Structure 1
Amino acid sequence: MPDKKNSETFAPDTAMVLAGGLGTRMRPLTLTTPKPLIKVAGRTLIDRGLDVLVEAGVKKAVVNVHYLADQMEEHLKTRDDIAITISDERELLLDSAGGILKALPELGDKTFYILNADTFWVDSQNSNLRSLAQNWDESRMDILLMLADRHHSTGHEGRGDFHLNEDSTLRRVPVDERSDYIYAGAALVNPQLFVGKEISVSSLNSYFNAAIAAGRLYGMVMQGHWLTVGTPEAIGEAEAALLTLA
């Protein structure tokens, strides 16, 4: 990673947790249960995400809800170790960037974490989110993505998401190539990217692409093991992997 500035003291205390998706690939489980409330080894996906946020020192999480939103809200009331604000998207699911735009007033004007509610990981020794914060450099970065190495992951199908340059900037993987690096569903982002943008259905991918064009999208390879459960069958695979990591 490039030289960091004030990395010893930088500790984001706010996160956006993206939890409003339909989870269609997880049917029939998600016909009655929102995907973030699916359990893997006895713990819901969203609680696993909130756990790592708490461990990293995050004090406030903004969680967007849409599908089976009442269940999400009731479950989130059980957490008393982190302040949770609901961003209600019942009327219209706004996708990843749109959800952040709607929640921006609650997220504040300082760099915050983004966390997907349907992926999780096991840290090796140190918190990967704390490492992400230690590598953040606002003078060089608009977005810093946490990357998983496919050789230390479970449940991923695909050709990878980004190539990692020597200076830790990222570039997209061409359609005829593969990469060992997967976007791990966690990132740091400068909220200034979203200021003045109209709230609409929009994806973070367009912001990733703009940051690549500006040379300001960076990546950090996480330490430990990354897991994703895209189908009901993948739950057993993830639980088996967790047993080997215990």
Structure 2
Amino acid sequence: MRALLLAAGIGSRLRPLTSTTPKCLVLVHGRPLLDYWLDLLFEGGVQRALLNTHWLADQVRGHAAASPWRSRIELVHENELLGTGGTVLANRDWFQNETFLVAHADNLTDFDVPRLIEAHRSRPKGCVMTMLAFRTDDPRSCGILELDRQKIVTAFHEKVENPPGNLANGAVYIFEPEVIADIAALGKEFVDLSTEIIPNYLGRILCVETDGYHRDIGNPESLRRAQSEFKQRPRSGGATVARS
């Protein structure tokens, strides 16, 4: 399986740190966030990864070139940000019309990649997407999910004031190729997955909840908490089908 690792973000909420450091290279326990992702994906069975770049792209390119995984990494630059869905669309040929994984590289996580892949392979009939989910301590800042008894997403509440629970979209997806055709049908270059694509698939998204660590480090407080909470522990079964 191939994976798109979204790494082009400016990280404006983390300034001044991200004025000189790309968000994907912010350190957690002295190690760039991107390195956690590369280890997680490649050790979990992903064959190749595509990184999109934009802000401070030279640093990202240099870091990828020095990575022990460099032979399995490709990079694509965006002079203008395309949005999460726009990046998928712009690189549709790279996915080779096969099932693929998409992840936001601004999350710190240790979810079980093989179990997510296996859950997608054995997904209920009609589902074309599998979404990682986690339990958040700040539901208003996340996309909150509602599920049916088969763990299929029936409702999606993107950053609302009174969300109905704390099961949140973890911004890691496995897509079937037909999702790209639906992105293309919008007829524009900039597309956001969370607001323009995901809501169109309600009833066709399998949800898998991680019982490992998962946090967006997009602001100073989240980064501080990640530094305090995250332990580099073995990946010993971090994903289970979510409980509704």
Q: Same fold (TM over 0.5)?
A: yes
Q: List alignment gaps of at least 5 residues for structure 1.
A: 1-12
Establish whether residue 104 from structure 1 lines up as the match of residue 104 from structure 2. no
Distance 2:13 2:51 in 1: 21
Q: Give the structure 2 partner of residue 74 of structure 1.
A: 62
Q: Cα 1:146–1:94, aligned 2, differ >3 Å: closer, same or farther?
A: same
Q: Give the structure 1 partner of residue 101 of structure 2.
A: 113
Q: Cα 1:58–1:199, aligned 2, differ >3 Å: closer, same or farther?
A: farther
Q: Cα 1:15–1:27, aligned 2, differ >3 Å: closer, same or farther?
A: same
Q: Give the structure 1 partner of residue 118 of structure 2.
A: 134
Establish whether residue 242 from structure 1 lines up as the match of residue 230 from structure 2. yes
Counterpart amino acid of residue 211 in structure 1: Y
Deviation per residue, 1:132-165 (Å, 9 max, x gap): 11111384212110001226xxx87636521122
1:83 alignment partner, one of 59, 63, 72: 72
Deviation per residue, 1:2-57 (Å, 9 max, x gap): xxxxxxxxxxx210001111110010001111100101111111111111101211
Distance 2:30 2:64 in 1: 16
Distance 2:226 2:213 in 1: 11
Q: Tell me how far 1:223 sits from its aligned partner.
A: 2.2
CA contact (8 A) 2:27 2:33 kept: yes
Establish whether residue 207 from structure 1 lines up as the match of residue 193 from structure 2. no
Partner of 1:161, secondary structure, is strand
Q: Cα 1:243–1:54, aligned 2, differ >3 Å: closer, same or farther?
A: closer
Q: Give the structure 2 partner of residue 223 of structure 1.
A: 211
Q: Cα 1:173–1:195, aligned 2, differ >3 Å: closer, same or farther?
A: closer
Q: Give the structure 1 partner of residue 242 of structure 2.
A: none
Q: Give the structure 2 partner of residue 193 of structure 1.
A: 179
Deviation per residue, 1:72-111 (Å, 9 max, x gap): 111111123351111210x211010001111111122111
Query: TM-score, length-normalised on structure 1?
Result: 0.83
Partner of 1:166, secondary structure, is coil
CA contact (8 A) 1:15 1:60 kept: yes
Distance 1:48 1:159 in 2: 22
Distance 2:142 2:86 in 1: 26
Distance 1:100 1:54 in 2: 20
Supply the RMSD in Å over aligned alpha carbons.
2.3
CA contact (8 A) 2:101 2:172 kept: yes
Distance 1:45 1:180 in 2: 25
Query: TM-score, length-normalised on structure 2?
Result: 0.84
Q: List alignment gaps of at least 5 residues for structure 2.
A: 235-244
